[in-house]
Structure 1
């Protein structure tokens, strides 16, 4: 008989310091994810796109599973998931799985760093409730982001947690497939794997986590090489360093046939990460210095100089509307420069009302109450208009349809700005082209992203610079006002440790 497997998903990466919370409407719309999907939609929409659910569906079909699709929901990173959104989606998933019983297994697509208004460990709470429904003998497999803040609760509740191995995340679907394969193994063997879980003592800035570069590339090569023989599954999670709760931080988790083999694998990966700590840092520029350096390089370059506006990365909780990099481009008279995306629905509406070719006087962006940021007031030319619908064909989005809402290309001087109504991380060249900007013909591109954009922009970039304009996601976690980290956690590589007593003294002073 075919295995009867429930499939579901609930994804959110939470920056607890970000300005805007995730509401139910954000999951309905989906942002850079597919929109909320129920029943057969989970299979039809998920199949063939770069998401964990996509890889699981393809494996399930090839393995002959009787798949019972429940609900899949994801929203672009932001501050906390609202209690209403969390409970509505969680309840629907759990009720659907309860109605699907009996089951041979459960596959669930998660992020791993979800914090709700009322629940710090969003995935841990969901997995525990799921375990209560299916009982101790039905295996639960989860595919997770390498930025997951993995907790002991998650490890205890699930039978196997499988993490991405690439950042930019070009292997989301492949990770779903690997998790589904592990679920097959568990259903066939009838007994759990041995587990080994390790927590690392320092936070890692996301700007330096790219697996295309040393040392992260070497670390993930080791993770993959360690998954052999009696060791069934190995994962290293960098963690998402902007979540103020004790579970925040990097972790290693391995599964295997024996506890000794599994512990040895986890110890090997843990030792490599500890040894790499001094190398997990990098160089940044302030906005003006970055633009001046980009202009210098562009003087002789044959390809665009790409700047990461890392601190307003919507993939890490930013609203994608800060103006620090725009000001620097205009102030330094940058030529053939483009910036994307500036999420400002009112500006997009004004552009559409005025029409293509018009000039409009507006205050653009800067409305998220970010310290040292403010709207940019100026006269802009409306070069092009768009309904915001496009296919993001690059390796990160993997052909996903995006709906950025009413959008426009606004120009000031020789700087062009992609203005959208809906938020999505600038990680695909088509997100310039849909408003008439050909990215390969620009001298300078400023992307509101930290690392994901590299998947599609590395091949066209002369060089990539990282700039630190004001934004809600500081490049160094040490500058965040933590109150609830695990005591003793270093807040950046080789940095000072978190001391809750020190925080209390400051609050009382």
Structure 2
């Protein structure tokens, strides 16, 4: 009778990461309470493909993941606590074949200029140099030298808006799994930094020029010897040396990927003056004047305070202009401001009760850029809750005791109003509203389909589209659009 053979050993790949996009120009720190924390098998909820055949060939070992809405710089003590938990979890696992680094790529931490680089360096100090490390990032992340050195397989989203975020994460995990199973070892990789730093609203893949540049990826990946091609636009609202565009190619033919990476990087560099905003832009007052006769519903993006990119979500530039805009204040036109992060005003609305009229001082409590906190008298039209925004109040602004056309949403926590359900949950109908002002940059799919006319207001805030106005001090120079006459820049291939 033959002896029973032991079952085959599956490769062991650990999973961990911290996922946030941080504006260093926002006055609000990110804290632990801003994050959704998952540990152990709970992490599998992020990976709906975990039971697919290729994935079942791997023993996935999830440790820790923290994810938050984009915000400010993460407080150092919280970061160090989570970093220690990740490193201790890795030590407890022993020898690994691989590691999946589940990150955004634009996290900032107090006192660190390269948080992801610091984290992957710590991880490598525990797992060693042999395990394959893969990562999937937002295309608005940054690829520092340290991050590039610490990872073997790097990729990022290929769409902005990020409709392919899940697809990109699956692609990265599958590539890592199949490469580990193949036994082929580490691929060659090349990085080319490009001295361009542009806001995402100038690099949407819905329009040229980004549309054309990202369309190159299938052609590059079809070349023999290429595993993956990735292009990071970079994160414009952090002031750090790593903030810049980058391309990374991985593959098994070092000469091919080096040649292709340099050619692609040169194509991007030569297109540096071709990028345009995804929608017409104007001042907030200019947008309102235009909105008098625009098609309905009319959407205006309050771009400088977009919480989806790290804004504090409480600047009052847009609201201040609306309070002075007679067509809305007279009630001839209706408008919704979505929204202001203002827990104090939410509590006051709850105390007053639905239907009550009360005085409020809204916004400007965190990011005090002009005009700062604004007094309004309003009727509490609705009180509700939101999975992200928490307790929420809808305030109908009054003037001289009469209704105006202006409605303001105030939320307990920061909240980006990017989908129709967020409005209907509050019994609001943006399709029947003349002007909808949202703290967002380019419109996510729901709002993009809803609008019949759209402009982006170049408002101040932690994610100001006017990068020069923000005052970067630590980025590498020269850099487009901060410097003129940069035609002599020499691109350089970094190999790994």
Whether TM-score is above 0.5 comes out as: yes
Q: Tell me, yes or no, if structure 1 residue 374 matches structure 2 residue 372.
A: yes
Q: Distance in 2 between matches of 1:64 and 1:416?
A: 54
Say if 1:20 and 1:319, in contact at 8 Å, map to a contact too: yes
Q: Tell me, yes or no, if structure 1 residue 5 matches structure 2 residue 16.
A: no
Corresponding position of 1:296: 293
Say if 1:231 and 1:265, in contact at 8 Å, map to a contact too: no
How many residues align? The count is: 463
Root-mean-square deviation over aligned CA pairs: 1.8
Q: Tell me, yes or no, if structure 1 residue 279 matches structure 2 residue 266.
A: no
Q: Distance in 2 between matches of 1:87 and 1:59?
A: 35
Corresponding position of 2:465: 475
Aligned counterparts, 1:222-261, within 5 A = 222-228=216-222, 229-261=224-256
**For 1:305, which of 283, 286, 298 is the aligned residue?**
298
Q: Deviations over 1:155-181 (max 9, x none)?
A: 111111110111111111111111112
Corresponding position of 1:341: 339
Structure with the higher fraction of residues in helix conformation = 1
Q: Tell me, yes or no, if structure 1 residue 409 matches structure 2 residue 407.
A: no
**For 2:33, which of 25, 47, 52 is the aligned residue?**
25
Corresponding position of 1:207: 201
Q: TM-score, normalised by structure 2?
A: 0.89
Say if 2:26 and 2:461, in contact at 8 Å, map to a contact too: no
Q: TM-score, normalised by structure 1?
A: 0.87
SS at match of 2:72: coil
Corresponding position of 2:190: 196
Deviation at 1:316, TM superposition (A): 2.2
Deviation at 1:448, TM superposition (A): 0.4
SS at match of 1:13: coil
Q: Distance in 2 between matches of 1:235 and 1:118?
A: 29
Larger Rg over CA atoms = 2
Q: Tell me, yes or no, if structure 1 residue 184 matches structure 2 residue 177.
A: yes
Aligned counterparts, 1:37-76, within 5 A = 37-44=38-45, 46-48=46-48, 57=50, 62-76=55-69
Q: Deviations over 1:174-221 (max 9, x none)?
A: 111111122023312332111110111121122212111111111111
Long gaps (5+) in structure 2: 1-8, 398-403, 487-496
Q: Distance in 1 between matches of 2:380 and 2:445?
A: 30
Long gaps (5+) in structure 1: 28-34, 49-54, 389-401, 498-509
Say if 1:340 and 1:426, in contact at 8 Å, map to a contact too: yes
Corresponding position of 2:448: 458
Q: Distance in 1 between matches of 2:432 and 2:102?
A: 38
Deviation at 1:59, TM superposition (A): 5.4
**For 1:421, which of 407, 412, 416 is the aligned residue?**
412
Q: Distance in 1 between matches of 2:217 and 2:263?
A: 9
Q: Tell me, yes or no, if structure 1 residue 122 matches structure 2 residue 115.
A: yes
SS at match of 2:213: helix
Aligned counterparts, 1:329-368, within 5 A = 329-332=322-325, 333-334=327-328, 335-368=333-366
Say if 2:316 and 2:370, in contact at 8 Å, map to a contact too: no
Say if 1:255 and 1:262, in contact at 8 Å, map to a contact too: yes
Q: Tell me, yes or no, if structure 1 residue 141 matches structure 2 residue 134.
A: yes
Corresponding position of 1:32: none
